[in-house]
Amino acid sequence: MERFETNKNGTEEKAINVEQIMEKLRENICKRKESTICSAGDIGDFQRNLSTLQTDDGNIQKDFEYINSNWDTKNNSYFISSHRPIVGKFLVRGRELVNGEIKRYVDPILWKQAEFNGGTVRFFNYITGKFNHYNNEIELLRFEIDSKMEELRSEFEYIIEQLRSEIDSRAEDLRPEFEDKIKGDIISEINNIVRSNVDIIAALTKFETLDTVNLDINYFRFEEQFRGSREDIKQRQSNFKKYFIGCSNVLDIGCGRGEFLELLKEFRIGGKGVDIDSTMVDYCLSKGLKVEQEDAISYLENLEDKSLDGIFIDQVVEHLEPSYLINLLQLCFQKLNYGYYIFVETVNPLSFVSLANFYIDMTHKKPIHPETLKFLLTSVGFRDLEIKFVSPVPEEAILQKVSMNSDMEKWTKNYLDTYNYNIEKLNNILYGAQDYVVISKK
């Protein structure tokens, strides 16, 4: 039933039924409270998924927690009241009326926002569940792969071990054949060397019958052809000039073409030479060197004792008879002053190639063993003896070793080590240094 009231102008107006309006507002509010955007179960699922979400980013975890707690934007906790005892009741109803009118315009916006938030929560809930599902699938797959790899590893190790055993067995079968091949190669190489030099070996004793023959040959030309050029000899002899630095009266016995005398002159070391070959003496005199043509023993006998401060004898002693050599060394000790050096170089008979070449020169008597020459020098009084082997054979002329690498089997490497060791020993015997030097001091 509608009520009308008379205003101050006397006109009747329809009265406002406040209680009826408030009742409708209450009904609207209750309906909106009951209308939820997402159910409690959905949010609970989201929270459970959120708790199991695997991530190392702490900020993402906080974002999920914030969305979970604040997805509903509706303000259902607002309460209208007044502390005034008399007019408070009217104030509350007036405020409720105003609030209701405001909510009629604002609630649709809040409802849409809450609906969007709820949809977002459900989407994240779905994504989180999928993430956990696929993560569990990946972990399961990783476990299965690791298990399969372990099985394959064991199988491969077994196969490798079987192959290694088979290879070792095959290597043992091939070892005798390989040994025979290496031994055969070494023996064949030695036989080839011996056969290639058999004529020289057969001639060793034949040339000894020539020592009583008076050979009339141009020895200067012979040395040019078979010993080497003056420049080469001078270069080799320069390694021993240090033993005569500061000397003023060095004697070069058998000076030949005068290479060492010329070297002494260049370093301002006083020296003179003696030789029985007239061609050699004339050549040295033409070079301005101090040389006399005379027998070495005769020359030394006419010198004062201890008058020499150095004696150099290069490729001479192999031309001498043993008795002459001993007499010569005794005179050298007698004429050399104390504290000075004697230098004796000759052919090395410990080298097969040097011994074979020894008899190219028909004026050679006999090769002298290094220990023999050392003994003779010691016997006449010389001290501090030192033997040096010089004039090595060129690398391309000697026997070559077999190259090895780290991938070889151990037994193969051992046999090749033995082979190379034997090659080195053969090289020392067959292609050792061509000359040796004995250096001693009075």
Q: What is the pLDDT of residues 169-226, one digit of tens each?
A: 877 777 777 666 666 666 666 666 655 554 444 444 443 333 433 445 555 555 555 5
- Are the C-beta atoms of 346 and 368 separated by less than 8 Å? yes
Residues of the chain with CATH 3.40.50.150: 198-441
Model pLDDT, residue 211: 40
Q: Name residue 126's amino acid.
A: Y
Q: What is the pLDDT of residues 397-414, one digit of tens each?
A: 888 888 888 777 887 888
How does residue 260 score in pLDDT terms, banded at 50, 70 and 90? very high
Per-residue pLDDT, averaged over 41-64, amounts to 54
Per-residue pLDDT, averaged over 59-68, amounts to 68
Specify the range with the lowest mean pLDDT, choosing from 201-205, 246-250, 342-346: 201-205
First to last CA, the chain: 158
Strand, coil or helix: what is 441?
Answer: strand
- Are the C-beta atoms of 319 and 363 separated by less than 8 Å? yes
Specify the range with the lowest mean pLDDT, choosing from 272-281, 355-364, 422-431: 355-364
Q: What is the pLDDT of residues 427-439, one digit of tens each?
A: 988 899 999 999 9
Whole-angstrom distance, CA of residue 328 vs CA of residue 333: 9
Handedness of CA 298, 303, 304, 307 (dihedral sign): negative
Specify the range with the lowest mean pLDDT, choosing from 46-50, 126-130, 303-307: 46-50
How does residue 323 score in pLDDT terms, banded at 50, 70 and 90? very high
Tell me: pLDDT of 25 over 80: no
Tell me: pLDDT of 154 over 60: yes
Tell me: pLDDT of 51 over 60: no
Tell me: pLDDT of 378 over 90: yes
Which CATH code is given to the segment(s) 198-441?
3.40.50.150
More confident: 230 or 42: 230
Q: Comparing C-alpha atoms, which of 274, 351, 279, 366 is closest to residue 319?
A: 366
Q: Would the pTM count as exceeding 0.85?
A: no
How does residue 82 score in pLDDT terms, banded at 50, 70 and 90? low
Specify the range with the lowest mean pLDDT, choosing from 85-99, 152-166, 211-225, 417-431: 211-225
Instruction: Please report which helix (H) or strand (E) contains residue 344, including its range.
Output: strand 341-347
Model pLDDT, residue 295: 95
More confident: 158 or 305: 305
Per-residue pLDDT, averaged over 81-110, amounts to 65
HSE-CB for 147 with a 13 A CA cutoff? 6
Q: Say if strands 435-441 and 4-6 run parallel, antiparallel, or are unpaired.
A: unpaired
